[in-house]
Structure 1
């Protein structure tokens, strides 16, 4: 099974950006531990601060991956274009968020992506990514 993790804007700053919200670990360090823990899954990741690049990566993913774990970050609440890309590709996408977006500012309560995603996982810190990947493993076994 091949899973792509796509991270949106500002997630390249994990480990230094608002550690009280996002924790103190970099995504690179977390990703290395995730690869070690979930050796049965071929994991790749991509991060961009640019909406169009995220859309291009989602389009490309449909040709090479069994699923996508998507943390579109702030684009979750603003991007109809990313939501349309999720809807357009023929592989499942699980939306994730490190923080509990429902417990934050009201503008973060709306997700344009959720209606087109297989599921949504929020609020478990970086563990949200692992939970999303485990959902793909569970779905494969059904």
Structure 2
């Protein structure tokens, strides 16, 4: 299974995702499209990814420009550039994937989405003062009003 995700680094919330058993360009496009649909950014945003060919492809770059997304890629051999993403996937694997025996393809496909819901709404994050991602955003939004 391939699961591209987009994480908001301010709140560490997963804001875009898609999943499929084959790595296709449409799959790679779906995660930022979903993030844009959910967040509807009013200004230019930065999207960081690794240096894989699917993220450097012409069609993907066109998609980013269309949504006023500035691409950023990891430096070769520097895993720290993608630390937030690596941390999310470590949590997903340790807290769900490795602990679950999926009975069907459909169950395997919905499991990560259920985890993303849990991750955003209930899982506490140390860099956010041990608040969940959505609670952190709610508090920041209400305090800035």
The TM-score with structure 1 as length reference comes to 0.37
Higher helix share: 2
Structure with higher Rg: it is: 2
